[in-house]
Amino acid sequence: MNSGESDSLESRLERLIKAQAYGLGFDLAGIATLGPVETAAAMDDWLVSGYAADMAYIERGADKRRDSRLPFPGAKSAVVVGMNYGGREPSGPVARYARGDDYHDIMIDRLRELHARVDEAVGRPVAGKAYVDTGPILERDLARRAGLGWFGKNTMLVNPTIGSFFFIGSLLLDLELTPDAPFEADRCGSCTRCLDACPTEAFTRPRVLDAAKCISYLTIENKGEIPEEFHAAIGERLYGCDVCQEVCPWNVRFARDLPSDSPFRPREFIAGKPAATLARDIRTLDAAEFAAAFRRSPMKRAKLPGLKRNAAVVLGQLEPEPLSSS
């Protein structure tokens, strides 16, 4: 293949954008054309079924959820990226994604830098907007359309080279870019390990999750008390749950270590602590100590009362009250 044929398949601009994305520390990069969203109807059905529990905010921005061109006038293409957060890290009381700095901040900053480099490459300001799990855009859908992976039976996007322990971000641009081929294959096959391993049986069927039963929801988004029926299943899990990813054969084989300089490495307050120790430490925090210990942490999402609630549940499983002798 000569250079002219190569450029006809993917222009120098697309290759430059992806190279810049990798240079900024992203582990995956692909391009998708914006437009009507294939999975929007399934998302609507999921909401109607009540599987979002009390996360009413998910219903906002339905028009943008159904058509990814709507976040701003002229939006045409998306650069979709993935960033590893360490599937090879050991299990623990805190889900792997939440042990270090907040991925929203890290990825938004890098996507904005990528946007600036696109402006420089094009030679003019290009209208654009970065999303990292904070708007109505169905980024998992965009990632599949950009060739980054398929929807696993545990609802996670799975990439055949790094598994599913990665964050997804997208940079929407007012540029006509050549899209990558979408990921069409379903490589889960007959495997149901993720569904079978869920401690709370939160999957109603493959690729459908009832959030009200999910440990991640119960310990993070849930604002009320955690129903007692789930306490035993929560066990040592103080914040989030990785079980359905840990058992996935694609992660067993391909999940990656965290680089030594990764911003997602465990912060000092968490690192190396067994569940009971971490739970007791959290129970003693006041507001100022909490703010200091969890500065720039995604765990602030649950707020201090939520973390103390979770800690009480964990300690109730690990250090139950002795039975009365009377």
- SS3 of the chain: helix, strand, coil, percent, to 5: 40, 15, 45
Copy the structure tokens of residue 46: 């999921």
Amino acid at 76: K
**Which positions ≥6 away from 303 have C-beta within 8 Å?**
none
In the three-class reduction of DSSP (H, G, I as helix; E, B as strand; rest coil), residue 58 is classed as helix
Give catalytic status of residue 261 as yes or no.
no
Q: Tokens 């964990």 map to which residue?
A: 314
- The answer to whether the beta carbons of residues 140 and 38 sit under 8 Å apart is no
Calculated CA dihedral for residues 143, 148, 154, 160, nearest 10 degrees: 180
Q: Return d(Cα 234, Cα 305) in angstroms, integer.
A: 18
Residue among 133, 180, 196, 286 flagged as catalytic: 133
Q: Could you report how far apart the first and last alpha carbons of the chain are, in Å?
A: 85
Closest CA to 182 of 151, 215, 136, 156: 151
CB atoms closer than 10 angstroms to residue 229: 9
Q: Which residues are catalytic?
A: 133
